A and B are shown apart, each in its own frame.
Chain A
């Protein structure tokens, strides 16, 4: 009846996951009770859960990423403490638990923190920057988000029901095969990634189509803000790389469920094929994450230097070059696995070549700052911190791209330090910069600068104290994923790293405090004009938060930095002589399709993990029925009458006029 599921799935003998699970459960219940008792449920349902508004979906993506960042961060803290104490002892985490923790940490941080964070920012900002009212496929967008949330849910369920994979975040066979991992851990891993992978693919298709087909009048390709370009590149990578992940995990699952022989040791299976396939997805994945971050830095650096981005066209070229070359370097993840010197040399050179467009970007940002009037607001701090940090990560990357050096450093703590250096220093700093930069746009008030700056400095120093020692430990020969060790020389560096983790955690607490303080002081921090940073691109041309239709009129774009142009022209001519004629606007209706679909996907995923076949069929039928019901509805749009559009738009127009005339007077 319930497949493999019974009471032995609950780890009653392990207090850590049980207590953690209980705390989370209580927290969720408390929030739910609060929502229901205070009567917020209808609001949540109508305005958020069923929303197909790209801004709302973007915010929900970022919320999901933030919550999962805390989960993945807790895993990180546990690992740092374990390695600080587990010198010549077992530490406090048993091996099978420790292995689950590092696997969950990697999986969560990449798939459920970094991915939703950048996809959320792209969702929130890109249609605004393009000057349009929505993304290409609003309801699919909602489906994509909720499927991502389903994946995150399944990973978290594994904490208390059953176990998570003990295989590392990419589940290499034969370890992840049925003979070496007979439990449900790998199944949790694979099914949650399959489901959230569908969500990511949907988001990718949606954003590619949005950028290529939905741009306002005059928004030629070479007038798009840099963030739109990097979004395009990143999502092109999503649609071409994520199907590889889907296929690879499908093969692994077929091996595990139906006795196939893709990656087994027996009957002619080929383990190296898994390595090639998973990294043919895995390396582009790195650029899927970091390219949007590059776009964010471009926007931030240009805005806070008060200058147009230096070398815009070279930046576009560099972005697309990275997009293409990122597909030609995957083998550098396994130089040591016997491809031979010629193949290794070619992939080593290709990997080093990627440093060239990346270097172009760094110089472009530096030259954008050169001669500018730089304002060191929090987003700018994250950007400058990124440049300093990312350079080191990039250089160590070039180092491990040299095959002979890689033979020394492969799977060492040096590698761990390297990829944290680029992912934290690049993606996470970028996500935080974007968060600080666009928060006023999303919510209509700025974030508190004092707490923001404190968060930056603690995170920044904490990062350096945590990860520089790992480089050294790697040089001293420490391999990754060690549950305990006997080498005295490593110990001091592990203790320093644990101390750094504490500093990093203070940064996280500051970030939370910043949110709390800002929400409390939101009236004082209110952004009335919609342009709190003296911005340059179109998202600042509408109010904060933008109305559901984003723009009363599709803006007419005449060059790069569209909004900067508009402001400049508006100071010369006055606004007075152009009296806009408002028209009715059609917007897509909200739909619970995404939520319902994800509900059935969750049931199906859980049932597949535990081999509860009747429930799998039920979930499948439910998901199909949801689509049919969606396809059957007769009214998928509603009309906002012109008077309503006018009323909403005039308020913001007044504020903006007074701002421009004030600036003109100065």
Chain B
């Protein structure tokens, strides 16, 4: 196989524009991992978009039950939003700390992220429990079905994120800042930020639009 011979690159410049761009070969592991995870995140956002669509279709179907404006508490949602946005910042700090191999700031950033995530989850859980206790559970109406599913799906993602976060901290504790651990940390950070973006969508579509009387 004459693979190292040098022959003129006849086909590399099909349009004769004088610029020959040769594909340099397989990308590095870091790029491949991040790229694949981006693709996953996009697919996850497609999944969320289905729940958004379902909410859009069903949000008026209250079946004589409560409307959004009657059950949403803007104060709680504001606290939730602040928690998540702050946690994105602290997660970013943890990523930077991982890049410069600083364990203290890494643990601190991750721990604060975790606490903020848990506060978010507790508030959301209490909101859900409160609604169910008042008889406004997901089986009350199609509107509540779509509300619980969309917000709950995001909540499940945050819960999975917290689990992943703890696993990452344990990994750094046990293995240090190894190349594969750093790649996973990068994916985790992408995941956490993506959840923030989705929350911005949930906040706007569900609580702001739906909260209007």
Contact = CB atoms under 8 A, between A and B. Distances in A.
Interface of A: 132, 136-137, 201, 204-206, 208-209, 212-223, 239-244, 246-248, 250-251, 254, 258-262, 264, 266-270, 273, 277, 541, 553-560, 566, 569-570, 573, 575, 578, 580, 624, 628, 631-632, 634, 636, 653, 656
A245 to B, nearest CB: 9
A244 B145 contact: no
Contacts of B171: 631-632
B145 A261 contact: yes
Interface stretch (B35-43, B102-110, B119-127, B198-206): B35-43
Contact of B1 (A218, A270, A632, A656): A656
A558 B11 contact: yes
Given A212-B35, A220-B12, A653-B1, A628 B167 contact: yes
Contacts of B1: 541, 553, 555, 566, 570, 575, 653, 656
Contact of A247 (B22, B47, B138): B47
B174 A208 contact: no
B72 interface: no
A208 B36 CA distance: 8
Contacts of B140: 267
Given A209-B39, A220-B22, A270 B184 contact: no
Interface in B18-62: 21-27, 31-32, 35-36, 39-40, 42-44, 46-47, 50-51, 53-54, 57-58, 61-62
Nearest to B163: A624
Given A213-B35, A244-B47, A558 B10 contact: yes
Task: Select the residue from A206, A247, A259, A268 with max chain B CB neighbours within 10 A.
Answer: A268
Nearest to A577: B5
Contacts of B63: 261, 266-268
Contacts of B36: 136-137, 205-206, 208-209, 213
Nearest to B6: A556
A566 B2 contact: yes
Contact of A220 (B23, B27, B42): B23
Contacts of B61: 261, 267-270
A146 to B, nearest CB: 18
Nearest to B11: A559
Grouping DSSP codes into helix (H, G, I), strand (E, B) and loop, the B interface class, with mixed when no group exceeds half, is helix
Given A558-B7, A559-B10, A270 B167 contact: no
Given A137-B36, A268-B63, A262 B54 contact: yes
Given A205-B39, A209-B35, A254 B149 contact: yes
B9 interface: yes
Contacts of B174: 632
Given A216-B26, A247-B50, A260-B145, A555 B3 contact: yes
Interface in B163-212: 163, 167, 171, 174-175, 180, 184
Contacts, number: 185
A56 to B, nearest CB: 20
A315 to B, nearest CB: 15
Given A273-B57, A578-B4, A261 B139 contact: yes
A267 B142 contact: yes
Nearest to B26: A214
Given A217-B24, A273-B57, A258 B11 contact: no
Given A244-B46, A262-B58, A267-B139, A569 B149 contact: no
B146 interface: yes
Given A244-B47, A254-B149, A653-B1, A217 B23 contact: yes
B10 A262 contact: no
Nearest to B168: A631
B166 to A, nearest CB: 10
B9 A558 contact: yes
Which 6 A-B residue pairs are closest in the complex by CB-CB distance? A268-B61, A268-B142, A247-B50, A243-B47, A559-B11, A259-B139
A223 B23 CA distance: 10
A266 B5 CA distance: 72
A268 B22 contact: no
B141 interface: yes
